[in-house]
Chain A
């Protein structure tokens, strides 16, 4: 069975290529690395749902495992965040003059935006941070950005607890609208997953993205009406620039923030198409993001 070097070299020449491929075909062998069809991929992903959940929980656990207060930080972090932002924008910069219940307005904005921001940033890093896992085990890669999204969802549920506490403390009544909170969050989660899948592929191949992303995110934060009300801010613009308001309100982050403010704060008027915008972005992002991520499935891990 031992062959001289020349025979091996010959076997590796161009002519052998065709016959080996034919041999593989004749015996029904499949390419080791090939992109599965979209429905099959969804099935594979569904089969790994336990992995996604466990991975998300484990990451949340390990994140605080070194600190003395442990999981309490899941509650403390949003509380401290709320405090810092209120001190900055409510007290020092005193933005609150024209907005009813500015505390609730601001904290809702910050928490809802943070959910999207953290999911998308996490998604962008989810492939490059897990290269060793990708190169060691076989699983649909979309499980990673999904796990990051679930992790942020778990964190958000704690933040919502804090948020609802703050909103009630600022004197907002409990209304039937609150029943729509899960619907609004589900729409936002759908958008987040789509956007994070999209960014996962971008971040996997364009590594400079991770340096750039914080700046993009901060710009997005300032443009999304987290600290100010968009209609107030554009009121001084000349008539010819009125479209700026619509563009700002079509921004997905602004839509989800406005949606939640509408549900939580009685004196708040959301833009006309907030729900339509929110539903459109959720569906659009998920479809495009998932498709875009799946298209490169066989290339993740090459570095």
Chain B
């Protein structure tokens, strides 16, 4: 076993050469990553939630029960390379989204590290836009936040509206949108930029069939220009179609990592 410990350098690279689609150089390295985040407002059954119990807690020098730490990712390591399309599967709460956010550099690691080539971009359904504002303002704001200039935004604006397919609703506040429309607009905004490393978190789950087709085509295009694509989806067919490698996360740890058919087969049996 001691000899095999050099694995990330040698065996992994040999394996990579066997893969036709993975062309060598690493784009994302996740090194023994742990993510712990704090959740506020969680209450336990005993907590009565009045001032007296809060004072008692202070006197007894106990921590705030409303503040809980969630250990979402527990020591994950892997190397992703150019041309890889990696699917991440696992049950709800297994740490998939958290892992993507950490790769995107949006959640700081508790310990371990994520190394990336260029700036990864995350396309998620949760990408926050301002609900009270019109779609139009949200497009501009989102593009500016991604670092575009006003002229770039003007050039991309019509394309974004067309792609999202929300039509005249672009003049309405986003609070009036259906969840599918909101997701479509978010996806259209986020995919308006060219990305080095692309992380897609369930962005295709919402929206109708026609939009799903359109966005899958967009992802294919982006995969060709982007080095690496990560895809989180509960729809295993999508993963099997688009990915050349699948990582199965279970309770914050990697349970299996490898060929899509094998991993998905094992996942379905579990």
Contact = CB atoms under 8 A, between A and B. Distances in A.
A301 interface: yes
Contacts of B31: 16-17, 20-21, 24
Given A16-B32, A20-B29, A138-B105, A58 B8 contact: no
Contact of B258 (A2, A130, A132, A139): A2
B108 A132 contact: no
A32 B105 CA distance: 5
Contacts of B107: 33, 135, 301-302
Contact of B144 (A14, A28, A29, A54): A54
Given A12-B76, A62-B130, A134 B106 contact: yes
A252 to B, nearest CB: 32
Contact of B146 (A1, A5, A137): A137
Given A20-B79, A23-B9, A50-B149, A12 B114 contact: no
Q: Is the interface of B mostly helix, strand, loop or mixed?
A: mixed
Contacts, number: 184
Contacts of B26: 23-24, 27, 29
B36 to A, nearest CB: 8
Contact of A138 (B7, B19, B104, B259): B104
Interface string A269-303: 00000000000000000000000000000110111
B59 interface: no
Contact of A12 (B77, B104, B120): B77
Nearest to A299: B108
Interface stretch (B37-45, B162-170, B177-185, B209-217): B37-45
B144 A50 contact: yes
B126 A132 contact: yes
Interface residues of B, number: 71
B205 interface: no
A21 B130 contact: no
Q: Is the interface of A mostly helix, strand, loop or mixed?
A: helix
A12 B106 contact: no
A173 B157 CA distance: 50
A1 B245 CA distance: 9
B194 to A, nearest CB: 15
Contacts of A234: none
Contacts of A240: none
B226 interface: no
B156 interface: no
Interface string A69-90: 0000000000000000000000
Interface string A6-41: 011011111111011111100111111100000000
Interface in B137-165: 137, 140-142, 144-147, 149-150
A273 B26 CA distance: 61
B127 interface: yes
A158 interface: no
A107 B77 CA distance: 61
A65 interface: yes
Given A1-B15, A11-B8, A32-B103, A302 B128 contact: no
Contacts of B262: 2
Contacts of A62: 130, 132-133
Interface of B: 1, 4-9, 15, 19, 25-29, 31-32, 37-40, 75-77, 79, 101-109, 112-117, 119-122, 124, 126-128, 130, 132-133, 137, 140-142, 144-147, 149-150, 173, 245, 253-259, 262-263
18 contacts: A2-B262, A12-B253, A16-B7, A19-B8, A27-B26, A27-B117, A28-B117, A30-B117, A32-B116, A50-B150, A54-B141, A135-B128, A136-B127, A137-B146, A139-B146, A302-B38, A303-B38, A303-B40
Interface of A: 1-3, 5, 7-8, 10-17, 19-24, 27-33, 47-48, 50-51, 54-55, 58, 61-62, 65-66, 130, 132-139, 207, 298-299, 301-303
